Amino acid sequence: MDEAKDASAKGTRQAFQVAYHGDDPDDHTIGVEALVPALRGFDRLVRESNAILNGDRSRMRVVVASDFEHKCFHINFDVIQHAIEVTKTFLQDDYVKTAKDILQVIGVIRSVAGTTSLLDYLKWKKNNQVETTKPSEAARPADGRQTHVTIQIVGGERNTINVHPDVLKLAENHRVLSAVKDTLAPIEMHEASRLEFRDDAKLVSSIDETDVRDIVLAADAPKNIEDPPEEPPPETIVATLFVYSPVFDEKAERWRFVYGDKHIYADISETSIGVDAWTRGGSFRDDRYRVRMEVTPPATPNGEVHYKIVEVLEFTSASQQPGLPLPVPKQRKRRAQKATKKASKSKSKGPSRRS
């Protein structure tokens, strides 16, 4: 196997270190209930970030080996990345983010000076609402790709920051934000007071209890609530409707009609349809109404059309069945039955003979 295929099969590795510092320099332990969410949080954070930035072009897994250093609980992580297509190396695809790239975007290993990571952005943002996001005025590279965006939060023009679009993608994903919070569990649960990220044993950044609060506030901040879509104006039409099913409630505000080849519910609250029907003794199937009606299209893709009758132009009663015989009182019914029996007996005997 050549070197390219061998490297792709084994995957590329990128290490980073995390150290949780407590108040007691002689205590090198950390509670399991705080450590387990943190370990899972780092695993989810890396995997979700890879899924967002690389899609299905690569997969990552995180392995860990713990180490106990003086005054802290130290964890060594290795991120192992594999290309989905074994024959393609990462160096041949500039659009595949390597493990190093992703860890730099998150902010757990060193990156170019002046670059804002995800953790830096969350600390800056706190629980403020983002007001605008627009392309940065910085010059673009030769390939024309957008390298930075300018974000302004609610509170004034000075509250702006330039970040890479990849940082913004991660910051807008609730699964990534949930994983970030899990990595801070030891501090939130008072098992540690400070978190340090190290790269080759050199300090990259430090997060204290105040930073943790700001990051969690940013992760929990509600999304900008967009103004509800404006309700489209109704269209007034003249239509013929037929009652689909009898209505026996004078106060019903919506009736079901047949309109063309479909069944609809129409608002009749501003007409006298209900009162008039009650006066006539009720409504009947196939009663015909010629009306002026407002038809309002749905405000959302999954919404419903709204029908409202504003004026009745003509009413035609449905054809009624021929009248049925009225019920006979019980006493009269019994007398009629006796008379019928007597008449039938007389017929069976025939005419009487004279001697």
pLDDT, tens digit, 9 for 90 and up, residues 334-343 = 665 666 666 6
Q: Flag whether pLDDT at 90 surpasses 70.
A: no
Domain ranges of the chain: 3-220, 235-316
Q: Flag whether pLDDT at 222 surpasses 90.
A: no
Q: Over the stretch 294-340, which tens digit does the pLDDT of each residue have?
A: 999 887 777 889 999 999 999 999 865 444 444 445 555 566 566 66
Q: Over the stretch 126-153, which tens digit does the pLDDT of each residue have?
A: 888 877 777 766 555 554 455 677 777 6
CATH topology of domain 235-316: OB fold (Dihydrolipoamide Acetyltransferase, E2P) (2.40.50)
Q: Over the stretch 268-283, which tens digit does the pLDDT of each residue have?
A: 999 999 889 888 888 8
Residue whose entry in the numeric block shows the structure tokens 């780092």: 42
Q: Flag whether pLDDT at 72 surpasses 50.
A: yes
Main-chain dihedrals φ then ψ at residue 255, nearest 5 degrees? -115, 155
Quick check: helix, strand or coil at residue 108?
coil
Main-chain dihedrals φ then ψ at residue 276, nearest 5 degrees? -65, -40
Q: How far is CA 162 from CA 117, 134, 146, 329, in A?
A: 10, 10, 12, 93
Strands across the sheet containing 202-208: 58-69, 72-83, 12-21, 194-199, 202-208
Tokens of 17: 């270190």
Q: What is the mean pLDDT of the chain?
A: 78
Q: Which of 67-81, 203-217, 227-241 has the lowest mean pLDDT?
A: 67-81
Averaged pLDDT for residues 248-265: 89
